Structure 1
């Protein structure tokens, strides 16, 4: 026992002596070690990144304090990335022995960091390439381990004691410029205080960032404010993407970053006040979100990344619990679940962002509702797509409509289509209009053809068809764009009567909500909806309603249309202004149009919508109304010859 104890003491003494020798060596040769470390960095920048790196002067002060002057990093044949006149830091000596520089305290002053793009040449491209050692196509990445190492490495580079003065970040994207000048940044005793000056081609502002920051324990609670009057404007995005954004304040809180049992937990919250966005693809006017908060719980594992369902998102008074995950264990699977607990309908309406739901402003309602969405997409098995949307209402009743008064569909009203923000001529939807056609006076063939082509289950669904949504989502995922919608007749009616044709997120969201209200609150009967639909939709250039359309094409009343004419009119609805391209230079339907009509006719026969007797003695269509002037006829056909003969007879003086 005594021998073991003496051996342990001897080992500790030897270790202490060796440690002392190492520390002494590090101290006496620290200048040499520093030069070797800088030389290593210089060589790596040159060989791996084709960049020039230089330090004009470098020296130790005291045991571990280092001063560097005029530090430059510049890609060859491109703009300088970094130029700092003065850097003073505290370097740990032990890592320095192996050529690594680990920062303690840090002071920066007088310099700039800039990112530039001229044409297609960027001065930072070399640093975006992947190292060959990191490329393992056959190896799966452990998301939790990778994220934890990356976060730890980044935070360890942030000194716990830092002072930055007169350092500017510059961005120049083909003369779209933005500069962020740090007048002063101080991090001391875990307290951050920063004053910034922002300048772009369009505005100048002064910001302040302050709060709590503890990089070693991976915690922070930081707030952004504007030192000037007005909101904080987001730079660069306005010029680069035509997205104008501003906000009053932002708060970012990181409460916990911890890895245990192979899983990485990241907890915290972020909030924003008076976020204003103006972007043509979102809405035609400013969108204002007064208060938004995200109380997040991120969870990462070896083969998944997820937002836990205990997270909470809040938009004004709307609270929801999201669950989102990306899994790669066996297949690549995307999952999204959203749950809105029971809430008052009026609180929901009041919380809709201004500018995004303009047709709901002023709406009053009573009752409660809750909502659940379940979406799951397996990239390797796309046909197993899950899309389930459920809204449960309780004593819901509309007391007052907003701009979109759905009840007007029950009476006479004036309709004006809006194309490219230009109102078209007014169309009276009512019996006072001689072209208005009640549903009972519209050919049953036309009703059947339009329902078959546009919405076969119109009389049975509540505004939406889940299977159509699934197919739409699948096609949009495959094409990586919004290539297909899932519009029912109800959705087309709402879009035509109450909304515009603009392709914005706002219009689509309003369309979905209005259709739900229309179809699920017994506001208008299905027959009345179909009747209004036939009398307002566009059937050709400046042709609205079936009364105008039947005369425009065939000089007939809607009740007298035959099957082939109805098949043609149904095919016109998706692109009414392009109907003329269905015809050849003799004024007859082209082969592709005939095949499409044949397909529709056979489909209706299979579904029992038509019987064989309906298709007997059907003749090819002959356009005889004003629509004929739109056709590019170069070869006289029988109808043209017949019309000319009639004119000659009319002119002959018997």
Structure 2
């Protein structure tokens, strides 16, 4: 055997083998260098055809070539929508391919260099230049995607992206422009350097938004772990301007990825983050900038074929308030929704100190003792919205108010000056108390108006503690059925009173949150009696432009005191409370009530009988019509009158007694 091997592998044989291999490598090298630019151009043409077919964007590369053994250089790259502003340009892209993996049929990138890039996104009345990127999928593609496991597909995309992620990345002067209607924002990635998992980026915001920002950290593409910290120079906030009158600012943002994997048919993500001196401004959130101090949390999330699930081990915090969170949101055919929030027993002073500034201004400086805990449990089968279960409870343990802060919530127990605001500006001020000749004590209100206003606005007012859970459930169900559009609220008289006395009228998320907390505080700590709350409410409600309280209202419409109102007159006044400025359009040309007001009046009467607030005998021969005898009759606009830009005339206070 050894002799046979020796005979085969003679020096002469080895010489021929070496010559053959060398010749093959030489020919391969010659072929590679001769054909590589042709292959590159062919590949670019295929990419160009594919991009233009799928997006209707004109894709162009002015120059492409190989430099060195395995480096490709592209220049003059652009994406231009037909007849619209250029979407994307970049001067130069250089990318190197690792040779050894390439010989084994695997594409692995060594480094990537990108210089002088611009991305311009525009959306206004004239054009949207990025619409081609959002081309809707074809029916067949939609059908295939419906049967696809989104979580596995997403993880595969991530793994593919990481596989092609170069070991070294260098980006210089990448500029992003965003034009939305009349607003133009831009931000520049001045430089990005990524080497051996560590990276650092210098970001230059547009003028007026601070100095350069620094983003630095590491990312291990093999274990899929990393962290990033974004901050400005020492003592200078990072501030981001929005496109819809919004803003976000902070001193430092830290994000960390601890785990990203696909296990048991689910995409699993675990991470944490925190942000210092978070500031938010949005007109829908609050009228002032909201400052959170410190915010953060730990997030454990799973995504499978049917649901996005935030695990109950997730905890989010605002200063000293910590909320354990569970969320289940359907993304497949099943429609089981769930939300759970829990705040363990927390010292009440820490709770109030942790409330975001600019969002709970009435509580600034309040001093309390005792503990508070909170629980919210909400679940619903989307195929049967009426199955909604909703439970919310803020629980107190030895809780007491030691001293009021910016707002004295007990001031409604005596006479106080009430100011009405319209459009954020003070409209009128008046005293709520006996000093005001139009003030109507509860015992002089008369039974008809009391029963009518309770029937229309809040039948269980004297029995609940500020909130009606069923009303919240009904409101949530209505919003869901309307496609997550607001269609109805669940305000009680307590909530309306708090809104009118303590808060501005502008509708914001902050106002609703502050309103709910004030209602809880007043109702659950007996700051004011139900009788006094109802008395104040009936003396400040708007009944016409510039007309406030039942005393002024009964005089303005009928020239009489509240106690002298007939049942039809009292019900009429309660019916116009939701839209008092529209009272002038509620009558026909002959002075009679419109049919919809007649029907509503009869409905209120039936409900008062059902609740045994009036005997059925009182409705015999009942006439829902009313005759205006006060100044209101001079403002009526008959239904057949043509209106051109109608305005609500402010009416001077009426003093008839």
Comparing 189-198 with 102-111, which one deviates more in the overlay?
Answer: 102-111
Map of 1:273 onto structure 2: 276
Map of 2:4 onto structure 1: none
Judged with a 3 Å threshold, the aligned counterparts in structure 2 of structure 1 residues 23 and 529 are, in CA distance, closer, same or farther, namely: farther
In structure 1, distance between residues paired with 2:636 and 2:93: 76
Map of 1:461 onto structure 2: 464
In structure 2, distance between residues paired with 1:119 and 1:428: 50
Query: What are the within-5 Å matches in structure 2 for residues 239-318 of structure 1?
Result: 240-318=243-321
SS in 1 for 2:327: strand
SS in 2 for 1:384: strand
Find the partner of 1:168 among 162, 172, 175.
175
In structure 1, distance between residues paired with 2:136 and 2:101: 25
**1:408: Cα distance to partner?**
1.4
Map of 2:395 onto structure 1: 392
Query: What are the within-5 Å matches in structure 2 for residues 412-451 of structure 1?
Result: 412-451=415-454
**1:550: Cα distance to partner?**
1.6
Map of 1:598 onto structure 2: 602
Comparing 89-98 with 533-542, which one deviates more in the overlay?
Answer: 89-98
Comparing 542-551 with 617-626, which one deviates more in the overlay?
Answer: 617-626
In structure 1, distance between residues paired with 2:214 and 2:424: 41
Judged with a 3 Å threshold, the aligned counterparts in structure 2 of structure 1 residues 179 and 451 are, in CA distance, closer, same or farther, namely: closer
SS in 2 for 1:506: helix
Judged with a 3 Å threshold, the aligned counterparts in structure 2 of structure 1 residues 583 and 106 are, in CA distance, closer, same or farther, namely: same
Find the partner of 1:621 among 619, 622, 626.
626
SS in 1 for 2:178: strand
Map of 1:502 onto structure 2: 506
Asked if structure 2 preserves the Cα contact closer than 8 Å seen for 1:192 and 1:211, the reply is: yes
Query: 1:412-449, CA deviations, whole angstroms, 9 ceiling, x for partnerless residues?
Result: 21222222222233322222222222111111121111
Residue 378 (structure 1) aligned with residue 381 (structure 2)? yes
Comparing 117-126 with 489-498, which one deviates more in the overlay?
Answer: 117-126
**1:279: Cα distance to partner?**
2.0
**1:25: Cα distance to partner?**
5.4
Map of 1:518 onto structure 2: 522
Query: What are the within-5 Å matches in structure 2 for residues 34-433 of structure 1?
Result: 34-50=40-56, 51-62=58-69, 64-92=70-98, 103-117=109-123, 119-132=125-138, 134-136=141-143, 139-173=146-180, 176-199=183-206, 203=209, 205-227=211-233, 230-235=236-241, 237=242, 240-327=243-330, 331-433=334-436
SS in 2 for 1:383: strand
TM-score by length of 1: 0.87
SS in 1 for 2:312: coil
Comparing 510-519 with 219-228, which one deviates more in the overlay?
Answer: 219-228
Judged with a 3 Å threshold, the aligned counterparts in structure 2 of structure 1 residues 58 and 499 are, in CA distance, closer, same or farther, namely: same
In structure 2, distance between residues paired with 1:465 and 1:118: 44
Judged with a 3 Å threshold, the aligned counterparts in structure 2 of structure 1 residues 47 and 530 are, in CA distance, closer, same or farther, namely: closer
Query: 1:272-316, CA deviations, whole angstroms, 9 ceiling, x for partnerless residues?
Result: 221222222221211111111021111112221111110110111
Judged with a 3 Å threshold, the aligned counterparts in structure 2 of structure 1 residues 157 and 78 are, in CA distance, closer, same or farther, namely: farther
Judged with a 3 Å threshold, the aligned counterparts in structure 2 of structure 1 residues 197 and 459 are, in CA distance, closer, same or farther, namely: same
Query: 1:354-394, CA deviations, whole angstroms, 9 ceiling, x for partnerless residues?
Result: 10011110111111121111112322111111111122210
In structure 1, distance between residues paired with 2:48 and 2:108: 17
In structure 2, distance between residues paired with 1:110 and 1:248: 29
Asked if structure 1 preserves the Cα contact closer than 8 Å seen for 2:210 and 2:238, the reply is: no
Asked if structure 2 preserves the Cα contact closer than 8 Å seen for 1:109 and 1:165, the reply is: yes
In structure 1, distance between residues paired with 2:584 and 2:262: 66
SS in 1 for 2:80: strand
SS in 2 for 1:68: strand
Query: 1:584-616, CA deviations, whole angstroms, 9 ceiling, x for partnerless residues?
Result: 222221222111101111122222222122224
Judged with a 3 Å threshold, the aligned counterparts in structure 2 of structure 1 residues 24 and 33 are, in CA distance, closer, same or farther, namely: farther
Residue 531 (structure 1) aligned with residue 538 (structure 2)? no
In structure 2, distance between residues paired with 1:129 and 1:97: 37
Judged with a 3 Å threshold, the aligned counterparts in structure 2 of structure 1 residues 108 and 146 are, in CA distance, closer, same or farther, namely: same
Asked if structure 1 preserves the Cα contact closer than 8 Å seen for 2:385 and 2:480, the reply is: no
**1:175: Cα distance to partner?**
5.9
**1:120: Cα distance to partner?**
4.7
Asked if structure 2 preserves the Cα contact closer than 8 Å seen for 1:418 and 1:424, the reply is: yes
TM-score by length of 2: 0.87
SS in 2 for 1:126: helix
**1:101: Cα distance to partner?**
6.1
In structure 1, distance between residues paired with 2:516 and 2:637: 40
Comparing 614-623 with 416-425, which one deviates more in the overlay?
Answer: 614-623
In structure 2, distance between residues paired with 1:256 and 1:102: 24
**1:159: Cα distance to partner?**
1.9
Quote the RMSD (CA, aligned, Å): 2.8
Asked if structure 1 preserves the Cα contact closer than 8 Å seen for 2:71 and 2:96, the reply is: yes
**1:127: Cα distance to partner?**
2.3
In structure 1, distance between residues paired with 2:566 and 2:313: 60
Residue 571 (structure 1) aligned with residue 578 (structure 2)? no
In structure 1, distance between residues paired with 2:292 and 2:214: 22
In structure 2, distance between residues paired with 1:316 and 1:86: 46
In structure 2, distance between residues paired with 1:634 and 1:131: 50
Matched positions, count: 613
In structure 2, distance between residues paired with 1:210 and 1:436: 65
Map of 1:644 onto structure 2: none
**1:331: Cα distance to partner?**
2.8
In structure 2, distance between residues paired with 1:117 and 1:329: 31
Judged with a 3 Å threshold, the aligned counterparts in structure 2 of structure 1 residues 342 and 67 are, in CA distance, closer, same or farther, namely: same
SS in 1 for 2:351: helix
Query: 1:530-568, CA deviations, whole angstroms, 9 ceiling, x for partnerless residues?
Result: 111111212222222212222222222221212111111
Q: Which runs of 5+ in 2 are unaligned?
A: 1-19, 641-657
SS in 2 for 1:121: coil
In structure 1, distance between residues paired with 2:201 and 2:227: 14
